[in-house]
Amino acid sequence: MTVAPAPLGEAIAALREGRTAATAYVAERCGRVDAVESDVRAWVDGPKEREWLVAEAAALAERYPEPADRPPLYGVPVGVKDVFHVDGLPTRGGSDLPAGELVGPEAAVVTALRRAGALVFGKTVTTEFAYFEPGPTRNPHNLSHTPGGSSSGSAAAVAAGMCPLALGTQTIGSVIRPASFCGVVGFKPSYGRIPLDGLLPLSPSLDHVGLFTQDVAGMYAAAAVCLDDWLPPDDPKDSDHPVLGVPDGAYLSQASDAGRAAFEEHLATLDAAGFEIRRVRVDAFEAIEAINDRHTDLMAAEAALEHQEWLDTYPDRYADSTAAMLREGRDVPVGTVADARAGRHDLRESLAEAAADHDIDVWVSPGAPGPAPEGIDTTGDPVMNLPWTHAGVPAVAVPGSTVDGLPVGVQCTASFGSDERLLAWAGLIDAALGGASDG
Amino acid sequence: MTVAPAPLGEAIAALREGRTAATAYVAERCGRVDAVESDVRAWVDGPKEREWLVAEAAALAERYPEPADRPPLYGVPVGVKDVFHVDGLPTRGGSDLPAGELVGPEAAVVTALRRAGALVFGKTVTTEFAYFEPGPTRNPHNLSHTPGGSSSGSAAAVAAGMCPLALGTQTIGSVIRPASFCGVVGFKPSYGRIPLDGLLPLSPSLDHVGLFTQDVAGMYAAAAVCLDDWLPPDDPKDSDHPVLGVPDGAYLSQASDAGRAAFEEHLATLDAAGFEIRRVRVDAFEAIEAINDRHTDLMAAEAALEHQEWLDTYPDRYADSTAAMLREGRDVPVGTVADARAGRHDLRESLAEAAADHDIDVWVSPGAPGPAPEGIDTTGDPVMNLPWTHAGVPAVAVPGSTVDGLPVGVQCTASFGSDERLLAWAGLIDAALGGASDG
């Protein structure tokens, strides 16, 4: 079996209380790597050497002998998508560019995780520069299927139980889609709530740092470390009965038949669990094609600006698909970029108005058009994630069900800045859907 | 007479040694304002109230009773171009936009000046958003002529002796040109050596923070406070005999006949003073039209990105000339922006190679095509400054001579990052030209 439980919430409790030694936990995860990595291929050249990892865990244990003193992510091994700079490890970005071109100071979020006691376990496979050209990673639920992308290795490593936490990024749908495909919890916070410093940029107006875990409780703990200005909801009771909104219409019709059918089942389960569900036509989503085009233009234009000098110098070291996107980005007029950037805010406001008009707390939608497609030559379609990324609102993927053994996730989104509350609500939704995420 | 001496170097010495009280010096400058401001119009609503300024000077005197403890710019009143945020003063940017749109934290360079003991004297007039639409400021040497732009008020205030130091910005030629027109010293450091934080942006890839004084010695002291990583030249003797290069050809031919004639006189004076002067054809400057176009496109494109939301919201609050530039910027393709950004570095390298090939230390050229044009409806042509700004190399304007009572400056430029040495060399060139800058 290439999937295995490794819920972060339980790991944190066991590590901090001393029921599991940090060295033992790391060794256990290394054991999972030995068992499945040759099939899953989640890591760039494998995780760090076992001796190095165990020595780091031992040093941490020595530093915090008293359970009461231990930081919130004490001893938690974290997989880092290979678009973040980590001191002591090269950054390759899934690219053939010379490694010397891709150096930089450690990403702020990596430093934050380390300070909270997490151990960098290794670099996870990314598509080339977090665009679409895939790496070798396979879906742990079915090795002949894609794990999704661009955070392919992070989603797969968490699903396979090789690490309980991993960092990813999402510019269109690169956290929520692979989380859905791999049956794990994915979280893409509000735009900017995790700083982008130390990340190889794809499109700075659209890039988001995100996280993967197997469980919502663990995600909540990791988010509390990584997000700026984390503020737990005042009154947890507020979170008890979120009203769920379903954005019916042009947007939803982008899902596949199988995806739609699974999503309807998830809604029925949630309805049976007592959630109020409102089907709403979101005006802004009727022009979904225009949003998709605007997003794609903005991404390509910003990527063209970021990559121009590299592409000039190393034209043959880019995959054709990436180079084609960068060349198309060059033709985008600056006014289109400016309008698209402004359009992000307009869409954010439209979504907030629709939610207010219908008293909706959480939008629910499919995490991907359907289950993971067969083959690893593509990473699937991010279209279900795109408008939420465009608006920069927080999104959480929770596991819904499986279709032919492949997971299908539910995407929960809420208004800009309500990340803390959304995670609390996602926990309720996840529990109602069967708590598949709790290992 | 609307011009009057106020050399910064002497002011610093007198203030720090206690020969002049900070309160007295500020009061003296206020006296100059009373005498000439109604003609010159250098200030946005005048400087701060005299009581406020004198109280600030008194507080400073109380804080530093001992001359030996006084910071480097103790008691120096500084004019701040109204595109920088200053805590306690509104920012208007020469614009009709609501002031509430233009708020932000204090500019890093303003904070650095304050920490060094300088007193913000007030906000100086800028063209609209530091582009070309002029304000009401007049040239202190001849009130029917422009002081140049966009840092109009800063150049005029220093020339008129209202303050010994002022902050400006240069995106094409907005420091060196008005300094030349007003017969003062202007300094535009290497790109990025004064941080841009807290500045209303026009074109972030091209915006430079700059300074005005009447004297090179004072400029050196101010630069030591404002520039990041200031490092005085190891051996001042290295600076004794700079070889001067004249970039002959297409670039120089952009000067007017009067400007060319004055420049040849300046070269003759420098030659007589013993400077070695080499006339060189700089290959990169033969395509000066292409550089001008690339610079203009990049500026307009970046300005369009910066101003899009304001222009959408307040289309009628922009001057026609500014709005037209912003609309043209929208049509620039992203690839042109990327190429222009890369072109800055290429030009910088070409200039460094030309200097190395001919053993040139300082390039000398006219600070403007000629003396300040008549009228205040335009601010003159920045074409002599443009390629140096494009390359991001440091530039110093020193007064050369006068033509019909109007100053004509000499622009001294050098290789990227050699700001300290360039200022030392500019002092020698200034002295040879008659030290007009020393009051």
Catalytic, A150? Answer: yes
pLDDT over 60 at B236, yes or no: no
Residue of A305, A341, A342 lying closest to B337 (CB–CB): A305
Asked if A176 and A186 touch (Cβ cutoff 8 Å), the reply is yes
Asked if A42 and A160 touch (Cβ cutoff 8 Å), the reply is yes
> CA-nearest residue of chain A to B342?
A309
Domains and CATH numbers, chain A: 8-241+361-438 (3.90.1300.10)
Q: Which residues of B touch A204 (CB under 8 A)?
A: none
**Angstrom distance (rounded) from CA A390 to CA B326:** 25
Q: Under 8 Å CB-to-CB from B405, ≥6 apart: which residues?
A: B141, B142
Catalytic, A81? Answer: yes
Q: Which residues of A touch B334 (CB under 8 A)?
A: 301, 304-305, 329-334, 337
Q: What is the pLDDT of residues B187-221, one digit of tens each?
A: 999 999 999 999 999 999 999 999 999 999 999 99
Amino acid at A345: H
Query: First CA to last CA across chain A, in angstroms?
Result: 14
By the CB < 8 Å criterion, does A332 face chain B?
yes
**Angstrom distance (rounded) from CA B159 to CA B154:** 9
pLDDT given for residue B241 in this prediction: 81
pLDDT band, residue B439 (cuts 50/70/90): very low
Touching B: A residues 291-330, CB under 8 Å = 301, 304-305, 308-309, 312, 329-330
Q: Residue A337 and residue B305: Cβ atoms within 8 Å?
A: yes
Q: Under 8 Å CB-to-CB from A148, ≥6 apart: which residues?
A: A139, A155, A174, A177, A178, A179, A180, A181, A182, A368, A372, A379, A380
Average pLDDT of span B76-95: 97
Asked if A168 and A186 touch (Cβ cutoff 8 Å), the reply is yes
Q: What is the mean pLDDT of chain B?
A: 95
Supply the angle between the helices B216-226 and B419-432 in degrees, to the nearest 10. 170
**Angstrom distance (rounded) from CA A357 to CA A280:** 10
For chain A, the maximum distance between any two Cα atoms, rounded to a whole number of angstroms, is 59
Mutation target to probe the B interface, by most B beta carbons within 10 A, among A311, A327, A334, A348 is: A334
pLDDT over 70 at B238, yes or no: no
Q: Which residues of B touch A331 (CB under 8 A)?
A: 333-335
Q: What is the pLDDT of residues B344-403, one digit of tens each?
A: 999 999 999 999 999 999 999 999 999 999 999 999 999 999 999 999 999 999 999 999
Q: Is the peptide bond before B38 cis (omega within 30 degrees of 0)?
A: no
**Angstrom distance (rounded) from CA B189 to CA B168:** 11
Q: Residue B304 and residue A335: Cβ atoms within 8 Å?
A: yes
Q: Which residues of B touch A332 (CB under 8 A)?
A: 333-334
Residue of A214 and B232 predicted with greater confidence: A214
Tokens of B145: 């002529």
pLDDT over 50 at B330, yes or no: yes
Q: What is the pLDDT of residues A176-223, one digit of tens each?
A: 999 999 999 999 999 999 999 999 999 999 999 999 999 999 999 999
Q: Under 8 Å CB-to-CB from A360, ≥6 apart: which residues?
A: A243, A244, A245, A278, A280, A354
Q: Residue B305 and residue A338: Cβ atoms within 8 Å?
A: yes
Q: What is the pLDDT of residues B109-132, one digit of tens each?
A: 999 999 999 999 999 999 999 999
CA A301 to chain B, closest CA, distance in angstroms equals 6
Q: Kindly give the pairing relationship between strand B119-124 and strand A406-413.
A: unpaired
Q: Residue B334 and residue A335: Cβ atoms within 8 Å?
A: no
Q: Which residues of B touch A301 (CB under 8 A)?
A: 334
Amino acid at B182: C
Amino acid at B23: T
| Residue B439: closest CA among B156, B215, B221 | B215
Amino acid at A177: R
| Residue B248: closest CA among B216, B285, B215, B212 | B285
**pTM value?**
0.90
pLDDT band, residue B235 (cuts 50/70/90): low
CA B415 to chain A, closest CA, distance in angstroms equals 22
CB atoms within 10 A of CB A88: 8
pLDDT given for residue B239 in this prediction: 62
Asked if B379 and B183 touch (Cβ cutoff 8 Å), the reply is no
Q: What are the b/e assignments for A242-258, b being 16+ CB within 10 Å? A: bebbbbeeebbebbeee
Amino acid at A127: T
For chain B, the maximum distance between any two Cα atoms, rounded to a whole number of angstroms, is 59
Return the DSSP state at A243. P
Helical (H) or strand (E) element with A386: helix A386-391
- Of the candidates A48, A123, A150, A415, the residue annotated as catalytic is A150
Q: Is B161 left (phi over 0), alpha (psi -120 to 50) or beta?
A: left
Q: What is the pLDDT of residues B391-403, one digit of tens each?
A: 999 999 999 999 9
Q: Residue A342 and residue B312: Cβ atoms within 8 Å?
A: yes
**Angstrom distance (rounded) from CA A141 to CA A94:** 23
Q: Which residues of B touch A312 (CB under 8 A)?
A: 342
Active-site annotation of B, residues: 81, 150, 174
- Of the candidates A95, A154, A174, A239, the residue annotated as catalytic is A174
> CA-nearest residue of chain A to B334?
A330
Residue of B329, B341, B342 lying closest to A334 (CB–CB): B329
Q: Residue A342 and residue B305: Cβ atoms within 8 Å?
A: no
| Residue B125: closest CA among B67, B175, B82 | B82
Q: Which portions of chain A are predicted below pLDDT 50?
A: 437-439
Touching B: A residues 239-278, CB under 8 Å = none
